[in-house]
Chains A and B, each alone.
Chain A
């Protein structure tokens, strides 16, 4: 595949990725978005800021994360699978990259408090972690249903000094946690930064979060070269909002690698959605006939989002990346497969990407191909749920 124009670049002042992106927020939030845009642009061209970002991710975040060749899985599938081990980063997923960046930026802007939304709790735990490190006040909005399903993560956040606010509006899940965090942000923009968890929301969030997460792709590209493998044939990542996918794609967007995002079948915004406006952005969204946003449904809370980051919608529209849906059943099998064949228990989110590789090896992925899998998180948080599902079957 040859590239005609560079992709995954600076989306400019208006934050457009082709037809997608932009800034659709209440007037009250516009100054805060502009302030954040200017602060990020300034910080990201400041060597000292970048150095501190990398320093914290190295000394505190556990980077660089290794690449592991999955020998037994590769042998059984007939393709060569390499895993970028974001599951080994501090707090157990790639989420730490973004929150380290955003909390450093919070301090740089002179703000003393962060708020965040969370679904399963990964981003909430990561935000609480990064906030604790810098002594920032932290409040996390979490759908009431999710606080019940992920009670341990609520406790983790509280241990880390954060306040967790159960959101009782709407569907009481991730989508509503974002709504509530935005409503709260209107009342406290002066001293509070909204630490959004994915490549979504109003400009500059999709761009900024992609930049913070691009460390995954840049590391991986260098490591693949060092391993003597070079550019993989396919790069695969799971996609909810799409931050881990954006992070790894960023390292290969200008290469010949095919880019594949795997969405939960019940939350497949690209294949099942239509263009629309939600949470400050124009993107692909699951909607009803009359334009109401629909609930996503997935076994994995992290992919339970009815939209997708606007840059992914653009990459799909121009054909640079493709997005596929994966049903719950093969995801559970993939989680078991990776656990038993490689000694790695992946997060249910990441298992979506594994499931696609397992299904398409020898089909859409020709035998002998080299595949780079972004293993975005570890599965410890999911084992109780998986046990219940497997028990329910027997």
Chain B
């Protein structure tokens, strides 16, 4: 078992819900300060986006963050170097699209991620069937490849995904791209289906944007992933100090 999964299982077994916020690397000049603020607020782990030009699972907010980051000249290697510079004290999960790693080379990506202290990756366009070579590349480097389950995933597929999953299972709360929503959607049903086939921690994401929704996610699952709500505010100029205060409300 890799360290990310161990960490999240320990939290779950101790009855702690996990708040996992997402920020896009390079979207604002002081993005590292915001990450540290999130950790100070009590994030169990942080998800760091590496910008890609064509993010097909992202809604307008994260698209805007990716664009801002790319315009600022962010590169994958630059992000990894920045993450390697100083440990955050909680697990770092990198989220990006497969072409970024494919282009760098899978071996090289795995090695750079390892050196940066990254302990998990979420690659939304790399599903189970295509993930073989990638998972081989990260094997032995203490990096978990997190898989998603969607409301549309049929039972047999959930079973297959659950068997191959590492770290935690990402339960997509709705049939949608990332964004801010009014409720937690179909999260309950998706989490139930995952639970039938896996004892891994299950985190709810896609649309979770208020402390109330996060608390509901904590009541049905082991954690919540919050991206667009946070990214939107940071893009609008929220300071790192304000980020810490905003994030505290999501921590139980």
Contact = CB atoms under 8 A, between A and B. Distances in A.
Contact of B99 (A188, A189, A277): A277
Given A27-B148, A189-B175, A183 B59 contact: yes
A241 to B, nearest CB: 15
Contacts of B157: 30-31
A183 B153 contact: no
Interface string A286-305: 01011111000000000000
Interface in A9-65: 14, 22-32
A107 interface: no
A186 B100 CA distance: 22
A182 interface: yes
Given A28-B175, A276-B99, A182 B152 contact: no
A279 B176 contact: no
Given A28-B151, A279-B56, A290 B76 contact: yes
Interface centre among A28, A276, A293, by most B CB within 10 Å?
Answer: A28
Contacts of A274: 103
B152 A291 contact: no
B68 interface: no
Interface in A133-156: none
Nearest to B154: A31
Contact of A293 (B99, B147, B148, B176): B99
Contacts of B151: 28
B54 A175 contact: yes
B150 interface: yes
Interface residues of B, number: 42
B102 A186 contact: no
Contacts of B59: 183
A161 interface: no
Interface string A251-290: 0000000000000000000000011111110100101011
B172 A28 contact: yes
B76 A31 contact: no
A187 interface: yes
Nearest to B170: A27
A26 B150 contact: yes
B100 A187 contact: no
Interface centre among B63, B67, B147, by most A CB within 10 Å?
Answer: B63
Contacts of B100: 290-291
Contacts of B53: 170, 292-293
B127 interface: yes
Nearest to B174: A187
A276 B60 CA distance: 24
B60 A169 contact: yes
B82 interface: no
Given A30-B153, A170-B67, A24 B57 contact: no
Given A26-B125, A280-B125, A186 B99 contact: no
Q: Which are the 4 A-B pairs with shortest beta-carbon distances?
A: A291-B103, A28-B150, A292-B53, A27-B148
Given A14-B129, A31-B152, A291-B100, 9 more contacts: A26-B150, A27-B127, A170-B67, A179-B54, A183-B58, A285-B99, A290-B75, A291-B104, A292-B70
Interface of A: 14, 22-32, 169-170, 175-176, 179, 182-183, 186-189, 274-280, 282, 285, 287, 289-293
